[in-house]
Structure 1
Amino acid sequence: MRRRIIMTTGLAALAAPTVHAQGAWPSRPLRVIIPYTPGGATDAMARLAAQKLGEGLGQTVVVENRPGGNGVIGTQAVLQAPADGYTILGSASTHVLQHLVLKAPGYDPIADFQPIARTGRAPALLVMDPKRPQRSLAEVVAAAKADPRAWSFATSSLGASGHLAAVAFNQATGAGIEIIPYRGTAPALVDVQAGNIQLLFDSAAALLPTVRSGNVRALAITARVRSALAPEVPTAIEQGLPGFEFASWYGVWAARGMAQDQVERMNAIIQAGLREPATSQRLAGLALEAITESIAETNRYIAADVEKNAALLRFANFQPE
């Protein structure tokens, strides 16, 4: 799916000092490739980044969804494009873990890509098929242990925070519920609503609208405290899982080899856009927290995140698929 976004020059003044150093860049439209289906939080955050880049650079930004292969197809398309500042990746925390959850993605997400910016984060919600009678984590665990074949987790992709939360849930409870990967949040959620899959951990930003419609039931939020947007949903910690905190985060990346001044200029534009009060307030209303940090800060965060989640996958004896 392709969607063209024509941008204004609202942040042109921010970008102006770099124009002389950059020469003609950008002299034509940019592409943001999203390796997942439309409709999820990854898609929404990548489109927001595209909007801010278009405003700051004064250029057209074309957004493309290229799902498939647990994010591999779209990600490879970015890597195969020239590293000239015109093609970037809009993805999520799944990206940095692909070499840990896939046997052969065909690239190293750390060595072959450089982060431009993290853009936002959101705690995960656990939702379930509303036709099931269970109302708490303890009831789900008991039912799953009694009849394991009647229960399964959907996950938007391997390595996503929802996947890691499902792995940790099985580890903490001994439930042993099967985890089935999907090509994004939207198709996973459809199957939960239809009762084909019983459980889904995913971003609260992506799931809250469906919870409010009554099409799925929220069981827990994976944050330290309850969300002001859904105060009726208890935390997993409240329900007997100490320290059970997982959050999805989102960002944009460039293939290694892109000029550093281009990367830094895009980082500055995105940070400035996310600091706009209207933008941060809109994100807060969607259970998303804007992230504004330097490239160095992002690199440090990613290194710690990969180390923590690699340890979880090893402890759970997860085998790459």
Structure 2
Amino acid sequence: MKRRHLLAAAGGIGLLAAPAVRAQDAWPRGRPIRVICPWPPGAANDALARLLAQKLQEKLGAVAVAENRTGGAGLVGTNAVLQAAPDGFTLLASAFNTAVMPLVLKGATFDPQRDLEVMARTAQAPLVMVMTGQRPQRTLAEVIEAAKANPRDWNFAISSLGSAGHLATIEFLRRTGLDINLVTYRGTQPALTDLMGGNVQLLIDPSFALLPATGDGRVRALGIATAERSVLAPTVPTMAEAGLPSYQFQSWYGVWAPKGTPAEICQRVNAMMQETMREPAIVERLKSQVLEPVTESIEQTRRFISAEIARATELLRSVNYQPE
């Protein structure tokens, strides 16, 4: 009798455990996976979010949908992921902004290293500094000289608060001692449009967004923020060659999930994206968009992000930056 009760109890435990096992095994087939991009369609973030959704379907048999949740300099979409269940069915495809958002935005009260699970870093792009073609200056040295002489005649566009270009601009102004007006936009495209029209004169942003615009003379490249000239833009001098030694900045893109998402799911997405970023067709596609694929482990990405946050924190502290 006692033995029968023990067997029944054991069977009960098995029945209770089975749904949890099946739920874990079912991922990612339980329901559609939402890949949230906190930026508008058309940008690199959006393209990489759609690539992630595509590969979740191809490689894991998932139903995955890329969803643009814009607003608040990326905060609206990020908050949607922070508030989602940690079950692998809501992912965040974002960029450098995610790591430094709490440093520059008053409304960002989360800690990216504490409140999100990093899954992968997928791509990166060096930053390039451009100027409007409506001004006569041709080199960075000439721009700095003119801006020091008449600072009110110059405006520096910022594509988004907390972007890599935003911090690179702060560092540029700190290094050169320039005190010129900053104009913030909701994305690179409106900033670039105003630059072409001469409403603003300078902009630092990812090369994939700016280099294609330099072909007709309306936008002029002054320097690329890499240690050596980029094969993606071999005629553009480095910022060091242009007069700013050791000036190096890049934007980068990655995938996060809500805190508590199982490690197995995070590792699975990481392995999938590493495999994706080694595919020759993907490498060529990214290269055509002036993007460089990244393949690294979750731990490598964690260390990279930690270093990026430390660098940004020190830079913002050095200029007494106050979150907006």
TM-score, structure 1 as length reference: 0.89
Q: Which residue of structure 2 lines up, in the alignment, with residue 63 of structure 1?
A: 66
**What does residue 178 of structure 1 align with?**
181
- Does the 8 Å CA contact 1:121/1:291 hold for their aligned counterparts? yes
Q: Which runs of 4+ in 1 moved over 4 A?
A: none
2:235 partner SS: coil
Equivalent-residue separation in structure 1 for 2:255 and 2:293 (angstroms): 14
CA gap of 1:252–1:193, structure 2 versus 1, over 3 A, is: same
Give the distance between the partners of 1:40 and 1:51, measured in 2 at CA. 17
Match of 2:75 among 58, 62, 72: 72
Q: Which residue in the other structure is 1:277 paired with?
A: 280
* Cα drift, residue 234 of structure 1: 1.1
Map 1:232-243 onto structure 2 (within 5 A): 232-243=235-246
Q: Could you tell me which residue of structure 1 aligns to residue 234 of structure 2?
A: 231
SS of residue matched to 1:23: helix
Q: Give structure 2 stretches of 5+ with no counterpart.
A: 1-20
**How far 1:20 moved relative to its partner?**
7.4
The corresponding residue for 2:15 is none
1:36–1:183 contact (8 Å) kept in structure 2: no
Does residue 43 (structure 1) correspond to residue 43 (structure 2)? The answer is: no
- Where do 1:281-300 residues align within 5 Å? 281-300=284-303
User: Matched residues in 2 for 1:65 and 1:21: separation?
Assistant: 27
Q: Which has the higher helix share?
A: 2
Contact kept, 8 Å, 1:102 with 1:320, in 2: the verdict is: yes
**Which protein has the larger Cα radius of gyration, Structure 1 or Structure 2?**
2
Q: CA deviation at 1:78?
A: 1.4
Per-residue deviation at 1:244?
A: 0.4
Write the distance in 2 (CA, Å) between the matches of 1:30 and 1:194: 41
Cα distance in structure 2, aligned partners of 1:293 and 1:179: 35
Give deviations 1:262-295, integer Å, cap 9, x for gaps: 1111111111111112211222232221111111
SS in 2 for 1:227: coil
Residues 124 and 202, structure 1, Cα contact 8 Å, conserved in 2: yes
1:85 aligns with 2:88: yes
Point out where structure 1 has 5 or more consecutive residues left out of the alignment. 1-18
1:140-177 deviations in Å (ceiling 9; x for gaps): 11221222222122222222211111111101111122
CA distance in 2, matches of 1:150, 1:89: 40
State the alpha-carbon separation in 1 of the partners of residues 36 and 184 from structure 2.
Answer: 21
Deviation at residue 60 of structure 1 after TM alignment: 2.6
TM-score (norm 2): 0.88
After superposition, the CA RMSD in angstroms is: 1.7
Q: How does 1:89-104 map to 2 (within 5 A)?
A: 89-104=92-107
Structure 1 stretch displaced more, 130-139 or 46-55: 46-55
Asked if 1:265 is matched to 2:256, the reply is no
Structure 1 residue 21: Cα displacement: 8.4
1:119 Cα shift? 0.3
Q: How far apart in 1 are the matches of 2:54 and 2:305?
A: 24
